[in-house]
Structure formats: structure tokens, C-alpha cells
Structure 1
Amino acid sequence: MHDVANAQRSHVAQYTALITFVVIVFSSFYPFTGWAYSGRPLLEFLGYPLPYYFRLFDNAVNFLVYLPLGFALALSSRSRILSWLLALALSLLVSFSVEFGQQFLPMRVSSNLDMLYNMAGAFVGATLAVSPLFRRLWHRVWLKRQRYFRHENVTDYAVVLIVVWFVTQLDPSVPLFGVVVRPIGLPQPFVSPMENPMLFLLLVEAGGVMLNLVAFLLFITTFLAARRYVARAITLALVLAWFLKVLAAGTLLKPMAFFEWINQYVMTGLSAGFLLVWLVTRFGQRVQAVVALLALLGTQVMVFLWPLARSDADMLSLFRWHYGHLANMNALIAFLAQLWPYAACLVLLGLLWQPVCREKLEPQ
């Protein structure tokens, strides 16, 4: 049992490292256009005099984004020294590859200083991961996962996806639990399938919020170990989602746009969704999984029906930040938000498929 637990812990760490790697690659190369070779020596950036292209915000981001990468990689092996060295080696490889590739993008600057901050973040993360204090804390986190969530292997994927979903809420220009965004600026013409176009927008926006709320909350409750944890999990999820929106809005948005993430349509959808969740959680976990799966598919229908296009340039005017990283961050969050429903569907299908597989393997 001890070996199994260690293996499962390693898988969770690897999932986290993979997600962090995707975040690094996406934020480093977005928007993935304009590739060109300048003609300068390919490894010239390694010999730039320090400090080169120094910006405090950039340096902080370069440090912080590699901290979880080093931390997760260092948890991938039971050998502390080996995992620590492996984490630093892989982080160095990722950092060098990113800086090497960025010199082919005119809007990016390859820098040896960025690599130094990357490695500093990876070093701190890896060192924390192998330290006895953080090993004990990580073990406690694992015990919490074992206590509150189901023991199937697919649950590890679900836990990671739950964390990723909260990351998708860090763009305060996106409504709370929203899957569509009302554009700002001049009204956009569109063809409404209903006589009342405002009612159509209300139904699609509120319906998207309702389905997103139902899908996410039932996604959580489906993987809980016991029914007595349902109320606690739902309350914690709602409070944390609300807190992250308020925090992101207070940090990023201009004062006049502080409540951009909430409106009467969102509140209507949240109210209907909460009632539906309360009803569905009266049934078993398989029913909850099926309803969550249908709700996830419904959110994509709402996205398809939404007739208005969001302008990233107009939406960025809501923010008080003017860094280029802000556009990259919003693009990354949008990418994760678009990918999340499909990943969640796969995890739910995997959970629903397991009993079928067990029945086929049982002797007749």
C-alpha cells in the first residue's frame, strides 16, 4: 500500500508539472505568429552583459512561474537528491528551450537574465519540495485527498482539473461562472432566433452561467468520498470562486469596472444553477456524473449560440495594467477555459466507464 500511495503521489506531481509546462510554453510564445530568423548568432543571448532587459515585473514572473515547476518535478521521485537534480536539469532544459525559441519571435526578447530568474525559481521550488517540512505538508495534503475524494486513479485527474478551473476564474472581465462575455463598446448587430433579442441574450448568458455552475459543482461532488462532504465542498467552491474574482478585480480592473464580472443575468443563472445542483445531489454519484457531463456539453452549446464577439483590445481597456504580460495572461486563461470542459468530459467518461470494465472482467 505504501508503494501504491507513493506512485499515486508521483502521478499527481507529474500532472502538476505538465500543466505548469503548458502554462510556460503558452505564455512564452503566445500568439504563436510572426516567426522569423533575425540572422544573429543563435546562442548570442547567453553572453549578453548583465543586467540585460531588466524589468521588475518580468523578473518576478520569470521567478514565480518556475517555482511550481521545480516543486512538482522534485516530487516525481522518492529519492530526494535524484529528484532535486532532475528537477533542476529539466527546468534548465525548459528555460533554455523557451529562450532559444523566443529569438524567432520579433515581439519577444531572449535573455540570459530570464534564465537566471527561471532557475532561481526552480531551485527554490525544488529545494522546498525535498525539505522535510514541505514533505510533511505534502503528505498531509495527500491524506486530505484520500479522506475527502474517491480512491479511483481517475480522481487524481479530477483534482488537478478542479485546481485548473479556479485558475480560469482569474480573469475578472469574464463573468462569474460565465462561458460567454458581453463585449463593451458599440452594440453589435446580430440575428436573433427569437422576437425579443434581449431575451435571447438573457437566456443564453444566464443559461451558460447555470450550466457552468452545475457542471463544476457536480464535477466536484461526483468525486467526493462520502455524501456528508457535499455541502462543505459546494460552500468552499463558491466562496473560493467569489474570493478569486474579487481579488482579481481589485488587483487588475479599473475602479469603474470593478463589478464587470457580475450582473443580473449572472445572478439569475447562479440562482437557477444552485437550485438544480441541490436537487441533483439528492441522487447517487453516477447520476451526478451524468448530469455534470450533460451540463458540460450544454455550456458548449451556449458558446455556439452566443452571437456577440469579444474584442480583446476593448476588454483590455478595463484593466489598470498595461503590461504585455496581461494580454498573455488573459489569453492563457481563455485557452485553459476552452480546454477545461473537454478534459472534464474525458475524466467523467473515464469514471463512468470503470464499472463497465469491471463487469466485463468479472468471471461469469
Structure 2
Amino acid sequence: MPSPKPAAGSAAINKIAPLRTLLPRYLALAYAVLIVYASLYPFTGWRDAGLSPIAFLDAAWPRYWTVFDLLINVVAYLPLGFLLALTLRRLPGRWTPAFTALLLGALISFCLESVQTWLPSRVPSNLDLACNTLGAGIGALLTIWHGERFFLRVAQMQQRLLAPIPHAELGLVLIGLWLLTQLSPETILFGAGDLRHLLEITPAVPYAAHSFFALETGIIVCNTIAIGLIVRALLADHYPPWLALTAFFFFALLIRTLAAAVLVDPLNAFAWLTPGAAYGMLAGGVLLSIILLLPVPLRIALAGLVLMAGTVLVNLTPPNPYSAAALATWQQGHFFNFNGVTRLAASLWPFLALPYLTMLGRRS
């Protein structure tokens, strides 16, 4: 008697199951780093108040709290728990990955709350620890119901969309971090690599309209070319690069617009559309279209060169008065720590992308 044919859904799963992807691992690591930075930002004023770092565990219910604060603490750790459990999915047993992810999320939160004892701008709280642990637990539980399906979808999309190059998942995480930098309304459009606020360096070039216009245009041209070439290196060859890159940059501008509208003021949603930004995107798009015709090794080398050039220009550009006003507005309320995360990502992104480009250049 012939055996019954497998269902269509089972065949699809069996076809995808052998695929391997490290994307959940990279995302979990990147998200954990962002959680650590957001929890300890701004990393200044460290002092010993004579308290035990675990004294907050026996503290009474916090005097000042809001439902919004509790939800933020839960939601912030939910992706961490989900990604950790997905990364640990090969552990034996159905519940072991989720339980381990819950313990790791609780441990990360406990360590960060303890370290906050030495930060005057932060207040360690057992309520925050409980909410963070709850969020990690909810995220971990989601992997039991939807984790395998999500993993298979990610593997399938990676096979279909990304080029078969080593460490394509790492490049995808870098692109995601770059999109995160567009949530900073006080930075120059597409600008990254500004180290002056980290190193406390005073800008050497005074602000003047004509010089700022030239530097802003150069920054946007360099970064449009660099990020466009990186995205092109990750894309599979059977997708039209022009259409994919246009959609990608449109999405980045949409993020920038919505961030300015929500975090600053709806009236300033298109404040990024300056004459320098318009000319920079136009010139960068034209040059990118020409460079895409070159061989892959030359494209990767040019991506590294223009990325370094854009980083130098960012550190030479004088501060924009609008940027200072936007930063002052954004730092009010609950988005202060998120502002620190996006500024850190914007500052370090070129220095993370350059080694990746070097690795791609050796493989090409």
C-alpha cells in the first residue's frame, strides 16, 4: 500500500528546515548591547553612595511610577527574550530554550539594575527588574508558539533576498543599525561617525551657511554611495538593484520623517529636506548609479573610501542650530535613553561597517 503524500505545508517546511541562518544570534547580541547602553546612559557621574548594589531588591514599592513606565520596561525586554530563545532553540526539550532565555533576560536586567546603584541619574528598582523579567518571559514564550515558524520564514527570506555570501546576516544587522540611526532628528541626514560628543571635542569649524551647505552635501553624497553599495552587495542578483535601492532609501527617509514628527514636532517632519540634503541625494544617486556598473571588488573598495570620507566630513561639520533645538526637545521625557542609543549607533556605525567591507573585499 503506497504511503500517503505529505501535505503541501509539510513539504515547504521540509524544504526550508535544512537552511541555516545566524541572523537571530546577531540580532540578539546587537539588541543586548543596545539594552545595556540605554540602561546605563549617559555613563557620567559615577559615585559610591555607600549602598549595596542589591539593596534595591528589598526596597518598597517605588513612590513615582506610571503605567507607561511599566509597559516600556516590559516591551523593551520582549524582543530580547524572543531573540535569545530563538538563538537557543537547539537546546533539548520544548521549554528549555524559553526558560533559559527567561533566566538570561532576568540576569541581564539584574546586573544592569545593580550597576545603576553607582549612577546618580538612574534609580535601581525591583519593579523595573520584575517588568523586564516579565517582558523577557513573554518574548521567550512567543518562541514556543511562533518561534519555529518565524525562524523558517527568516531562513526562507534570506535564501530568496540575500546574496549567497559569507556573513550576509551580519551585513543585514549593520543595515538595520544604520536605519536605527535615522531615528536621530538632530543628526545630519544619513550622517554617521560623529565622535565629538563621545570624545568631548569642540568643533573647529564655526557655523556659516555656505560652509555648512557644502559639508552637508558632501556627507549625504558619501553616505548615499556607501550605504547603497553595501545594500547592493547583500542583495541577490536576480533582483533589480535600482528598484531595491530606491525602495530602501525611501524607507530610510520615511523613518526619518516619522521620527521627526513624533519625537520633535509634526511641523518639523520634513526639516531634514534642506537644500544640501536635496542636492546631496541627487548627486549621490547619480554617482551610485554609475558606480554600480563597476566590478564587485572595485565597488566594495569605493564603498570603504567614501564611507571614510563621509566620516571625516561629519567630524568637520559645525553644529546646526536646528540640531541643538531638536536634541533639547527630544531629551525631554522617556526618550532620553533612546536618544543615547541612536546617537551611539550613529557614532560607531562606520567603524563597524569598515571591517565588514574589508571582509567582503577579501571574499570577492
Shift of 1:349: 0.6
Aligned residue number for residue 153 of structure 1? 166
Residue type of the alignment partner of 1:97:
C
Q: RMSD of aligned C-alpha atoms?
A: 2.8
Partner of 2:139: 125
Q: Is the counterpart of residue 346 in structure 1 residue 363 in structure 2?
A: no
Offset at residue 232 of structure 1 (A): 3.2
Q: What amino acid maps onto 2:294 in structure 1?
A: F
The count of corresponding residues between Structure 1 and Structure 2 is 340
Looking at structure 2, the residues matched to 19 and 45 of structure 1 have their Cα atoms a distance apart, in angstroms, of: 28
Q: 2:227 aligns with which of 216, 219, 224?
A: 216
Structure 1 distance, partners of 2:248, 2:23, is 21
CA contact (8 A) 2:191 2:220 kept: yes
Choose the corresponding residue for 1:176, options 161, 164, 189: 189
**CA pair 255-148 structure 1, distance change in 2 beyond 3 A:** closer
Cα displacement (A) at 1:119: 1.0
Rounded Cα–Cα distance in structure 2 between residues aligned with 1:207 and 1:6: 46
SS of equivalent residue, structure 1 residue 170: coil
Alignment partners' CA distance in 1, 2:321 and 2:27: 31
> What is the correspondence of 1:205-354 to structure 2 with a 5 Å cutoff?
205-226=216-237, 228-308=239-319, 314-319=325-330, 322-323=332-333, 325-354=334-363
Distance in 2 of aligned mates of 1:232 and 1:74: 35
Is 1:94 the counterpart of 2:105 in the alignment? no
Q: What amino acid is aligned across from residue 47 of structure 1 in structure 2? A: D
Q: Are the equivalent residues in 2 in contact too, given 1:222–1:286 (CA < 8 A)?
A: no
How far residue 216 of structure 1 moved from its aligned partner, in angstroms, is 0.8
Rate the CA distance shift 1:107–1:51 in 2: closer, same or farther, 3 A. closer
Q: In structure 2, how many angstroms separate the alpha carbons of the residues matched to 1:252 and 1:316?
A: 10
Which structure 2 segments of 5+ residues have no match?
A: 1-13, 195-201
Measure the CA separation in 2 of the matches of 1:300 and 1:175.
12
Q: Aligned partner of 2:186: which letter?
A: S
SS in 2 for 1:282: coil
In 1, distance between residues paired with 2:209 and 2:193? 15
Whole-Å separation in 1 of the counterparts to 2:324 and 2:213: 24
CA distance in 1, matches of 2:318, 2:189: 20
Q: Which residue is 1:359 aligned to? A: none
- Normalised TM-score (structure 2): 0.85
Partner of 1:24: 35
Matched position secondary structure for 2:139: helix
Which of 47, 52, 62 is the matching residue for 2:73?
Answer: 62
C-alpha distance 224-86 of structure 1, shift in aligned 2 (>3 A): same
Name the structure 2 match of 1:83. Answer: 97
- Shift of the 51–190 alpha-carbon distance from structure 1 to 2, 3 Å rule, reads closer
Instruction: Give % identity.
Output: 33
- For residue 221 of structure 1, report the CA deviation from its aligned partner: 0.2
Aligned equivalent of 1:358: none
For 1:327 and 1:53, the matched residues in 2 are separated by 18
